[in-house]
Chains A and B, each alone.
Chain A
């Protein structure tokens, strides 16, 4: 695993040079977290940045596009450790087909009525991914050639992957098993005898 150099302060990450070059070529801020380069760009530069990534950085392979709902009122899942600004973070990973270098582009959209230009013109494979993100997070992709739900039926209401959308099966019937692992009775551990 290259992710854990013994002294992270001193060691320069092997991807740092590429990340800096990419940030300069595309415009934006690069950040390396656990071997993943994340390049933040403003929302109005979204299409422009990905076009440059394809043409100038040779990142021709479209891997995926999706989003994260950063919300404070988390109803399902875990509580956040710290307050975050409520926003939708749109992510798109593209990579090259020689050395396998990849960049995850990121842009912030408002939590209410998020909207961004479609990148289907740049990467045709984004078509289905954008439709999925649209129905799951309520993001509007302007200029998408074939908008409409992908997985969900036409009549479906709501955006299931938003944190404010309840997981109905969990609401109706609680999880039948032990929810918190810490409550398990003390037994001689078979998982890890040395621990």
Chain B
């Protein structure tokens, strides 16, 4: 029988022992964890509420695309690389196809380039809307998810109308885009073109997306909890970000005015007027804010592209039926929603690449985890990890 006296004694002893003996604990997060966006495992040494020596363990989803590319033809590879960053599958195709076109010296028709550009920006919007949905959710706010996913679905419907696929469009071909784009009743009359009403629908969808941006901003930006949990947290200085190869919105949130859409010529972005959104402090708040503004900039680009798209014209340049890419090497990179996505393509003149190095954005973006999570509080692990916006398919390839 334990008396009250004993209990008090035990408790006071327990108190003392807690104060004297604090032990480091190893905390395992993942591989299956809702906030890891796939299968990422973190091993952290935790002392009280602080964590140290965070070690990300990756490779649970390594599919060996670089090896597989060596036995596939160029046409088959676009189907593979859709699945690298599956949240914006369409955008993955562009740098690879452009690299092959560079080696083949193929000039892509203007209309096809515009379609590529519109769809790439749609992929960016849908990817950023996923972030707008999941990031507040990870911090405990469920409502923005409904707003963001509702309009993401609208954008994906349009993408599906053109390409036939929501996530894995496999739509680009060397020399242009897939013919018979809008399979449907209008196909026979106007082969090789967009579905009827696509441009008008897109224009509508863009204004809806802009409204949703307002709604999300109203909901989230003024939220005291969200501000408290993101402002000043996970600060990433620009020089550290650059040395780690952190790219895309994460780099721009740290105050670096650098956007591959402005410096590379993989798509005709120079014809459009848009701003590169740059953050100030490089904290979680800035990373969220930059992505929200990028959705707005993307809608601006799409509106201008709809105005400027040539009303008719071929969607496909003349290329041989059997694609053989001449010998050569090139690196083509693009500003994907997650950051710099590039392909180092080495061709030996065959029907498939000799070597294809895939530079994916999330791989470099999360290599920063052990640096940025050093000494943070345990609940902040999720807040910081979520703000980096990675996808495990993009990490493991």
Listed in ascending order, the chain A residues whose CB lies under 8 Å from chain B are: 1-4, 33-36, 38, 60-64, 66, 68-69, 76-81, 91, 93, 97-100, 102, 104, 123-125, 127-128, 136, 149-153, 160-161, 167, 170, 175, 181-182, 189-195
**Which residues of the partner chain A approach B64 to less than 8 Å between Cβ atoms?**
160
Are the CB atoms of A64 and B357 closer together than 8 Å?
yes
Query: Closest Cβ of chain B: how far from A128's Cβ, in Å?
Result: 5
In the complex, the answer to whether A195 meets B321 with C-beta atoms within 8 Å is yes
B265 touches A68 (CB 8 A): no
Q: Is the CB of A68 within 8 A of B355?
A: yes
A167 near B67 (CB under 8 angstroms)?
yes
| Bound CA span A117–B240, Å | 22
Contact of A36 among B68, B329, B340, B349 (CB under 8 A): B329
Q: How far is the CA of A80 from the CA of B355 in the complex (A)?
A: 12
Among candidates B105, B245, B346, residue contacting A64 with C-beta atoms closer than 8 Å: B245
Q: Are B321 and A1 in contact (CB under 8 A)?
A: no
How many chain B residues touch A (CB < 8 A): the figure is 68
Which residues on the A side are within 8 Å of B316 (C-beta)? 191-192
Q: Out of B59, B331, B350, name the residue touching A102 (CB < 8 Å).
A: B331
Instruction: Tell me if B364 counts as interface (CB < 8 A to partner A).
Output: yes
Annotate B291-318 by CB proximity to A: 1 below 8 A, 0 otherwise: 0000000000000000000000010101
Which residues of chain B have a CB within 8 Å of any CB of chain A?
A: 58-59, 62, 64, 66-68, 70-71, 73, 75, 101-103, 105, 107, 173, 179-180, 191, 239-240, 242-247, 251, 256, 258, 260, 262-265, 314, 316, 318-323, 327-331, 333, 340, 342, 344, 346, 348-352, 354-355, 357, 359, 363-364, 367, 371, 396
| Beta-carbon nearest neighbor of B256 in chain A | A97
Report chain B residues within 8 Å CB of A76: 70-71
Contacts of B258 in A (CB 8 A): 61, 97-98, 100
Interface on chain A toward B: helix, strand, loop, or mixed SS?
loop
A-B contact pairs, 6 of them (CB 8 A): A2-B265, A61-B245, A93-B344, A100-B262, A123-B243, A189-B321
Q: B352's contact among A2, A69, A77, A194, by CB below 8 Å, is which?
A: A77
**Chain B residues, CB < 8 A from A61:** 242, 245, 247, 258
B62 CB to nearest A CB, Å: 4
Q: Which residues of A contact B329 (CB under 8 A)?
A: 33-34, 36, 38
A167-B71, A181-B73, A195-B321 given; name 10 further pairs at CB < 8 Å. A64-B359, A77-B71, A78-B354, A100-B262, A125-B243, A152-B62, A161-B67, A181-B321, A190-B180, A192-B319
Chain B residue nearest to A99 (CB atoms) is B263
Please tell me which one of the listed residues B344, B350, B364 contacts residue A91 in the complex, with CB atoms under 8 A apart. Answer: B344
Closest A residue to B340 by CB, please name it: A63
Other-chain residue from A66, A100, A152 in contact with B263 (beta carbon distance below 8 A): A100
Contact A62 B71 (CB under 8 A): no
Query: Quick check: B396 and A151 within 8 Å, CB to CB?
Result: yes
Complex interface: chain B residues within 8 A of A66 (CB): 344, 357
Within 8 Å by CB of B59, from A99, A150, A161, lies A150
- Nearest-neighbour CB distance to chain B for A58, whole angstroms, equals 10
